[in-house]
Amino acid sequence: MTITRKDFPDNFTFGVATSSYQIEGAAHEDGRGPSIWDTFCREPGRILDGTNGDVACDHYHRWPDDLDLIRSLGADAYRFSVAWPRIQADGQGPVNPKGLDFYERLVDGMLERGLKPYATLYHWDLPQALQDVGGWVNRDTAFRFAEYARIVAERLGDRVASYATLNEPWCSSLLSYQLGEHAPGLRDRRLALAAAHGLLLGHGEAIAAMRDVVHSAQLGIVLNLQPAYPASERPEDITAARFADGTFNRWFLDPILRAEYPADIWEAYGEDVPEVQPADLARIAQPIDFMGVNYYSRSVNGAGGNVRPPESSYTHMGWEVYPQGLTDLLVRLKEDYANLPPLLITENGAAYPDEPLGKRVQDPERVRYLQLHLEAVVQALRQGVDVRGYFAWSLMDNFEWAYGYSRRFGLVYVDYATQERILKDSARWYRDLLTGQAQAAPLP
Ligand code: FCB
């Protein structure tokens, strides 16, 4: 199948995505306070190549050129995130005017270029001062987050088309507080589940705070969802897949869309479950205008652990390329959740070890990945799933968290020594798709 823009509804939004800590740099400028990622990166052994986000893609200074670049790709929209420590250095208290000014210029810059701003309020860079008093485990952080959300929404208002509260709360709780792979790098399941609850509550409180402030802007949340398949039809493998789905997907979907935690997983977690106050779930489950889905891969679960199908291909992250999982996931969301709001694919993409040859970067595997996943979205649309947009992760190569700069997800190559941006073939392919040129088939 060769996809073209005509396979998508007329008002379908295409964009590219980034996040603040991964691209901005300027870590100590204009009153930005330290975040948990500044701290984490300085702990030996945390980041594969020992790097940090101090400079990253220097987007804080190069944003006008970067917005021109996004425009040149034919994108309708740009998904970016706001760094909380730029707005309030300590996560509470005085507002830093220079921080708000930066995002206002950025948003106005998008509007001048005909790009719709899609903001995410929390893409993991928690102010360190809040971590010092417990981070998301401390219930008060949820209320500090809502206050910060209101401050941003009051300033940027309906110039922003869409506000997502959180990016991937599974990552900022379980991956960060139980598996220890992301900041703050703890290894405690009880704390991780308390953090997840704090994040969900913060989401609900932030939606409520922003509802009072904006009118046309769409409000929602972004989850990373990973469909879980059993390795075989054996009952123990089916049980393993159900558990993986429950901990990874339903633990976040059910509170937001059904005002309840999944009973099977609640029971399995035993004494580690979070303390939930009576009004919390209603607060978490208030109506949202969209749900953002970040999709990269699936899991294949056996009773003895995860399985890697040998016939599949894998990205530089070691993630299986499995586009059918995206169709299955989207259809399943529609079937399982009566209250499902319209969906956006807020991230999808792949890392490969790209090398420039002069001014060209050939990345046929990424082109293939994008093509197959866009086809998977078309399949879901044909099955009646209400998907409103697609954002490629990422605009450009950037600081890939625990992998530092060693994994490249960009459509645009970044030479970190010179900060030069070079369009990869995938960027050209995406541009041709978006601008309706014939070139939607994979490049040779
Ligand atoms: C997602 C994150 C994003 C990026 C991609 C590869 O989990 O939201 O920042 O790191 O993975």
Per-residue pLDDT of the chain in tens (444 residues, 90 and over written 9)? 689 999 999 999 999 999 999 999 999 999 999 999 999 999 999 999 999 999 999 999 999 999 999 999 999 999 999 999 999 999 999 999 999 999 999 999 999 999 999 999 999 999 999 999 999 999 999 999 999 999 999 999 999 999 999 999 999 999 999 999 999 999 999 999 999 999 999 999 999 999 999 999 999 999 999 999 999 999 999 999 999 999 999 999 999 999 999 999 999 999 999 999 999 999 999 999 999 999 999 999 999 999 999 999 999 999 999 999 999 999 999 999 999 999 999 999 999 999 999 999 999 999 999 999 999 999 999 999 999 999 999 999 999 999 999 999 999 999 999 999 999 999 999 999 999 885 555 544
In this prediction the pTM is: 0.98
- Cα separation, 165 vs 195, whole angstroms: 15
Neighbours of 258 (CB within 10 A): 16
- For residue 444, the model assigns a pLDDT of 47
Within 8 A by CB and 6+ apart from 356, the residues are: 413, 415, 422
Take atom 4 of ligand 1 and give the residue whose Cα is closest: 400
**316 Cα–ligand 1 center, Å:** 14
Nearest to 118 by CA among 133, 139, 103: 103
In a domain, 298, yes or no: yes
φ and ψ at residue 14, rounded to 5 degrees: -110, 140
Probe residue for ligand 1, chosen from 370, 401, 408 as the CB with the greatest number of ligand atoms within 8 Å: 401
Probe residue for ligand 1, chosen from 118, 122, 168 as the CB with the greatest number of ligand atoms within 8 Å: 168
- For residue 439, the model assigns a pLDDT of 53
Atom of ligand 1 lying closest to residue 171 CA: 7
**393 Cα–ligand 1 center, Å:** 8
Distances (CA, A) of 423 to 257, 277, 356, 408, 411: 39, 50, 10, 13, 7
**398 Cα–ligand 1 center, Å:** 10
In a domain, 439, yes or no: no
In a domain, 245, yes or no: yes
**Beta carbons of 249 and 243 less than 8 angstroms apart:** no
Within 8 A by CB and 6+ apart from 142, the residues are: 136, 198, 199, 201, 202, 205
Active site residue 29: no
**235 Cα–ligand 1 center, Å:** 33
**Beta carbons of 116 and 78 less than 8 angstroms apart:** yes
In a domain, 123, yes or no: yes
In a domain, 102, yes or no: yes
Q: Residue 139 corresponds to which amino acid? A: R
List residues near ligand 1 (CB under 6 A): 19, 22, 167-168, 171, 224, 294, 347, 393, 400-401, 409
Atom of ligand 1 lying closest to residue 407 CA: 6
Nearest to 149 by CA among 54, 231, 82: 82
**277 Cα–ligand 1 center, Å:** 31
**271 Cα–ligand 1 center, Å:** 31
In a domain, 111, yes or no: yes
- Cα separation, 86 vs 352, whole angstroms: 32
Strand partners, 220: 164, 290
Task: Identify the active-site residue in 104, 147, 154, 168.
Answer: 168
Strand partners, 14: 390
Residue 153: which domain range? 5-434
Probe residue for ligand 1, chosen from 347, 399, 403 as the CB with the greatest number of ligand atoms within 8 Å: 347
Atom of ligand 1 lying closest to residue 401 CA: 10
In a domain, 442, yes or no: no
- Cα separation, 86 vs 98, whole angstroms: 8
**21 Cα–ligand 1 center, Å:** 11
Take atom 9 of ligand 1 and give the residue whose Cα is closest: 19
- Chain-centre distance of CA 13, in angstroms? 17
**350 Cα–ligand 1 center, Å:** 10
Probe residue for ligand 1, chosen from 393, 406, 407, 411 as the CB with the greatest number of ligand atoms within 8 Å: 393
Task: Identify the active-site residue in 205, 347, 365, 375.
Answer: 347
- For residue 438, the model assigns a pLDDT of 57
Atom of ligand 1 lying closest to residue 224 CA: 7
**377 Cα–ligand 1 center, Å:** 19
Active site residue 347: yes
Probe residue for ligand 1, chosen from 23, 80, 294, 296 as the CB with the greatest number of ligand atoms within 8 Å: 294
Q: Is 263 left (phi over 0), alpha (psi -120 to 50) or beta?
A: alpha
Atom of ligand 1 lying closest to residue 22 CA: 9
What CATH code is carried by the domain that includes residue 64?
A: 3.20.20.80
Strand partners, 127: 35
In a domain, 444, yes or no: no
Name the domain count of the chain: 1
